Amino acid sequence: MEILIFMLVMWYGGLFFQTFFLHRYSAHQSFTMSRFGEKLCYFLTWVFQGSNYLSAYGYGIMHRMHHAYADTEKDPHSPKYDDNLFAMMWRTKTTYSAITSKKMEVDKRFTDNVPEWTAFDKFARSWVSRIAWGAAYSFFFLAFATAWWQWLFLPAAFLMAPIHGAIINWFAHVYGYVNFKVGDTSKNLLPFDFLMMGE
Protein backbone atom coordinates (compact mmCIF):
# COMPACT_ATOMS: atom_id res chain seq x y z
CA MET A 1 0.00 0.00 0.00
CA GLU A 2 2.84 2.41 0.86
CA ILE A 3 4.38 1.92 -2.59
CA LEU A 4 1.12 2.78 -4.35
CA ILE A 5 0.65 5.90 -2.19
CA PHE A 6 4.27 6.90 -2.89
CA MET A 7 3.74 6.52 -6.66
CA LEU A 8 0.49 8.53 -6.58
CA VAL A 9 2.14 11.34 -4.59
CA MET A 10 5.10 11.39 -6.99
CA TRP A 11 2.87 11.24 -10.09
CA TYR A 12 0.44 13.99 -9.10
CA GLY A 13 2.90 16.05 -7.04
CA GLY A 14 5.42 16.19 -9.87
CA LEU A 15 2.67 16.84 -12.40
CA PHE A 16 1.16 19.62 -10.28
CA PHE A 17 4.44 21.56 -10.14
CA GLN A 18 5.03 20.93 -13.83
CA THR A 19 1.59 22.36 -14.59
CA PHE A 20 1.40 25.13 -12.01
CA PHE A 21 5.01 26.34 -11.87
CA LEU A 22 6.78 25.26 -15.04
CA HIS A 23 3.93 25.52 -17.52
CA ARG A 24 1.43 28.13 -16.31
CA TYR A 25 3.90 30.36 -14.46
CA SER A 26 7.30 30.02 -16.16
CA ALA A 27 6.24 29.54 -19.77
CA HIS A 28 2.91 31.38 -19.97
CA GLN A 29 3.18 33.93 -17.14
CA SER A 30 -0.50 33.28 -16.39
CA PHE A 31 -0.11 34.81 -12.93
CA THR A 32 2.47 36.60 -10.80
CA MET A 33 4.25 35.37 -7.71
CA SER A 34 6.40 36.91 -4.98
CA ARG A 35 10.14 36.22 -4.96
CA PHE A 36 9.63 33.95 -1.94
CA GLY A 37 6.77 32.09 -3.66
CA GLU A 38 8.93 31.55 -6.72
CA LYS A 39 11.85 30.17 -4.68
CA LEU A 40 9.47 27.94 -2.73
CA CYS A 41 8.11 26.54 -6.00
CA TYR A 42 11.65 25.84 -7.19
CA PHE A 43 12.29 23.88 -4.00
CA LEU A 44 8.97 22.00 -4.09
CA THR A 45 9.45 21.16 -7.78
CA TRP A 46 12.77 19.58 -6.79
CA VAL A 47 11.14 17.70 -3.90
CA PHE A 48 8.30 16.28 -5.99
CA GLN A 49 10.23 15.72 -9.23
CA GLY A 50 13.37 14.52 -7.45
CA SER A 51 15.59 12.63 -9.86
CA ASN A 52 13.48 14.04 -12.71
CA TYR A 53 13.85 17.72 -11.75
CA LEU A 54 13.09 20.14 -14.60
CA SER A 55 14.44 23.68 -14.62
CA ALA A 56 11.80 26.43 -14.82
CA TYR A 57 14.20 28.34 -17.07
CA GLY A 58 14.79 25.49 -19.51
CA TYR A 59 11.18 24.32 -19.48
CA GLY A 60 9.73 27.83 -19.84
CA ILE A 61 11.87 28.70 -22.86
CA MET A 62 11.41 25.34 -24.57
CA HIS A 63 7.65 25.47 -24.11
CA ARG A 64 7.47 28.98 -25.58
CA MET A 65 9.45 27.71 -28.57
CA HIS A 66 6.99 24.81 -28.90
CA HIS A 67 4.08 27.24 -29.18
CA ALA A 68 5.89 29.61 -31.54
CA TYR A 69 7.03 26.81 -33.87
CA ALA A 70 4.20 24.30 -33.36
CA ASP A 71 4.65 21.30 -35.65
CA THR A 72 7.40 22.85 -37.74
CA GLU A 73 10.99 21.59 -37.86
CA LYS A 74 11.93 24.14 -35.16
CA ASP A 75 9.40 22.71 -32.68
CA PRO A 76 11.54 21.07 -29.95
CA HIS A 77 9.05 18.24 -29.40
CA SER A 78 6.67 17.74 -32.29
CA PRO A 79 6.09 14.05 -33.06
CA LYS A 80 5.64 15.04 -36.71
CA TYR A 81 9.39 14.90 -37.41
CA ASP A 82 10.40 11.79 -35.49
CA ASP A 83 9.89 8.14 -36.39
CA ASN A 84 9.14 7.06 -32.86
CA LEU A 85 8.53 8.19 -29.30
CA PHE A 86 12.14 7.63 -28.19
CA ALA A 87 13.60 9.73 -31.01
CA MET A 88 11.26 12.61 -30.09
CA MET A 89 12.07 12.34 -26.39
CA TRP A 90 15.83 12.28 -27.07
CA ARG A 91 15.53 15.40 -29.26
CA THR A 92 13.47 17.07 -26.51
CA LYS A 93 16.09 16.18 -23.87
CA THR A 94 18.95 17.43 -26.06
CA THR A 95 17.21 20.76 -26.75
CA TYR A 96 16.21 21.22 -23.10
CA SER A 97 19.79 20.52 -21.91
CA ALA A 98 21.25 22.94 -24.45
CA ILE A 99 18.83 25.69 -23.37
CA THR A 100 19.30 25.10 -19.63
CA SER A 101 23.09 25.01 -19.84
CA LYS A 102 23.00 28.04 -22.20
CA LYS A 103 24.87 26.21 -24.95
CA MET A 104 22.12 27.13 -27.39
CA GLU A 105 21.46 30.67 -28.54
CA VAL A 106 17.84 31.58 -27.88
CA ASP A 107 15.82 34.50 -29.24
CA LYS A 108 15.18 37.13 -26.53
CA ARG A 109 11.40 36.84 -26.97
CA PHE A 110 11.60 33.37 -25.45
CA THR A 111 13.65 34.42 -22.41
CA ASP A 112 11.71 37.54 -21.34
CA ASN A 113 10.67 37.23 -17.67
CA VAL A 114 11.33 33.49 -17.52
CA PRO A 115 12.33 32.75 -13.90
CA GLU A 116 15.93 31.76 -13.38
CA TRP A 117 17.73 30.54 -10.26
CA THR A 118 21.05 29.40 -11.70
CA ALA A 119 22.70 28.17 -8.49
CA PHE A 120 19.69 26.07 -7.48
CA ASP A 121 19.24 24.67 -10.99
CA LYS A 122 22.89 23.66 -11.09
CA PHE A 123 22.49 21.76 -7.82
CA ALA A 124 19.06 20.25 -8.57
CA ARG A 125 20.09 19.11 -12.07
CA SER A 126 23.43 17.67 -10.90
CA TRP A 127 24.20 13.97 -10.96
CA VAL A 128 24.77 14.13 -7.22
CA SER A 129 21.16 15.24 -6.68
CA ARG A 130 19.73 12.77 -9.19
CA ILE A 131 21.66 9.80 -7.77
CA ALA A 132 20.75 10.78 -4.19
CA TRP A 133 17.05 10.84 -5.11
CA GLY A 134 17.42 7.51 -6.93
CA ALA A 135 19.05 5.98 -3.85
CA ALA A 136 16.28 7.39 -1.62
CA TYR A 137 13.60 5.84 -3.88
CA SER A 138 15.43 2.49 -3.82
CA PHE A 139 15.69 2.50 -0.01
CA PHE A 140 12.01 3.37 0.23
CA PHE A 141 11.15 0.37 -1.94
CA LEU A 142 13.47 -1.84 0.12
CA ALA A 143 11.66 -0.76 3.27
CA PHE A 144 8.08 -0.93 2.02
CA ALA A 145 7.74 -3.20 -1.03
CA THR A 146 5.79 -6.30 -0.02
CA ALA A 147 5.50 -8.04 -3.42
CA TRP A 148 7.79 -8.50 -6.43
CA TRP A 149 5.45 -6.62 -8.80
CA GLN A 150 5.75 -3.44 -6.74
CA TRP A 151 9.39 -3.19 -7.88
CA LEU A 152 8.09 -2.65 -11.42
CA PHE A 153 7.16 0.88 -10.29
CA LEU A 154 10.76 1.81 -9.42
CA PRO A 155 11.89 2.58 -13.02
CA ALA A 156 8.79 4.78 -13.38
CA ALA A 157 9.84 6.68 -10.23
CA PHE A 158 13.27 7.29 -11.79
CA LEU A 159 11.72 8.53 -15.06
CA MET A 160 8.48 10.21 -13.98
CA ALA A 161 8.94 13.58 -15.78
CA PRO A 162 9.96 11.98 -19.10
CA ILE A 163 6.91 9.70 -18.84
CA HIS A 164 4.68 12.76 -18.34
CA GLY A 165 6.38 14.44 -21.31
CA ALA A 166 5.91 11.37 -23.51
CA ILE A 167 2.19 11.18 -22.73
CA ILE A 168 1.60 14.88 -23.40
CA ASN A 169 3.94 15.43 -26.35
CA TRP A 170 3.59 12.11 -28.17
CA PHE A 171 0.32 10.38 -27.30
CA ALA A 172 -1.75 13.59 -27.11
CA HIS A 173 -0.49 14.58 -30.57
CA VAL A 174 -0.43 11.23 -32.37
CA TYR A 175 -3.60 9.66 -30.89
CA GLY A 176 -6.90 11.05 -29.67
CA TYR A 177 -9.56 13.12 -31.36
CA VAL A 178 -10.28 16.71 -32.37
CA ASN A 179 -13.55 18.59 -32.06
CA PHE A 180 -12.51 21.11 -34.70
CA LYS A 181 -9.53 21.52 -37.00
CA VAL A 182 -6.55 23.48 -35.65
CA GLY A 183 -3.20 24.36 -37.19
CA ASP A 184 -1.20 21.72 -35.29
CA THR A 185 -1.35 18.04 -34.34
CA SER A 186 -2.66 18.48 -30.77
CA LYS A 187 -5.52 16.16 -29.89
CA ASN A 188 -7.85 15.41 -26.99
CA LEU A 189 -7.49 12.32 -24.82
CA LEU A 190 -10.38 13.09 -22.46
CA PRO A 191 -10.85 9.53 -21.11
CA PHE A 192 -7.26 9.69 -19.76
CA ASP A 193 -7.26 13.35 -18.77
CA PHE A 194 -7.49 12.59 -15.04
CA LEU A 195 -4.00 11.07 -15.34
CA MET A 196 -2.50 14.35 -16.57
CA MET A 197 -4.45 16.98 -14.57
CA GLY A 198 -5.79 18.57 -17.76
CA GLU A 199 -2.45 18.88 -19.52
What pLDDT does residue 176 have? 67
What is the pLDDT averaged over residues 168-193? 65
pLDDT at 39 over 90: yes
pLDDT at 33 over 90: yes
pLDDT at 3 over 70: yes
pLDDT at 185 over 80: no
Among the listed ranges 89-103, 145-159, 169-183, which one has the minimum average pLDDT value? 169-183
Alpha-carbon distance 157 to 42, whole Å?
Answer: 19
Q: Give residue-wise pLDDT tens across range 7-31.
A: 999 999 999 999 999 999 999 999 9
**Average pLDDT in the chain:** 88
What is the pLDDT averaged over residues 134-162? 94
| Residue 58: its H or E element | helix 56-68
What pLDDT does residue 168 have? 74
pLDDT at 170 over 70: no
Alpha-carbon distance 69 to 73, whole Å?
Answer: 8
Q: Are 161 and 52 in contact (CB under 8 A)?
A: yes
Q: Which residues of 156-176 are buried (b: 16+ CB within 10 A; e: fewer)?
A: ebbebbebbbbbbbbbbbeee
What pLDDT does residue 1 have? 85
Helix pair angle (56-68, 35-49), 10° resolution: 90
What is the pLDDT averaged over residues 137-163? 94
What pLDDT does residue 196 have? 72
Q: Give residue-wise pLDDT tens across range 62-89.
A: 999 988 888 788 888 878 787 887 888 8
Alpha-carbon distance 137 to 175, whole Å?
Answer: 32
